Amino acid sequence: MMFGYGGHWPFWEVGLMWIGMVAFWVLIGWAIYAVVKSMSAGESAPRTAKSAREILDERLARGDIDAEEYGRLRDLLMHEGPVPAVSTDRT
């Protein structure tokens, strides 16, 4: 039998091998978890980009624009035409 003849691994080498193996499987598990979570989060993630109509509605609600300006801008959005120059004279 050759089991007793040299070639014994010190305890610290075996420990390092076990730590490396555990770290490898933890990394694989984390990668799978991250992929699954990112795929499922895409369906329920809140929308961050607002449409032009939503921004216009918020500006009216805050009082940044009056009803006349709101109506003019809403009509422009519906027709998607070029935006004419707005005069700032309110007299």
What are 43-76's pLDDT values in tens digits? 555 566 788 889 999 999 999 999 999 999 999 8
pLDDT of residue 46: 59
Predicted model pTM: 0.40
CB contact at 8 A, 17 and 31: no
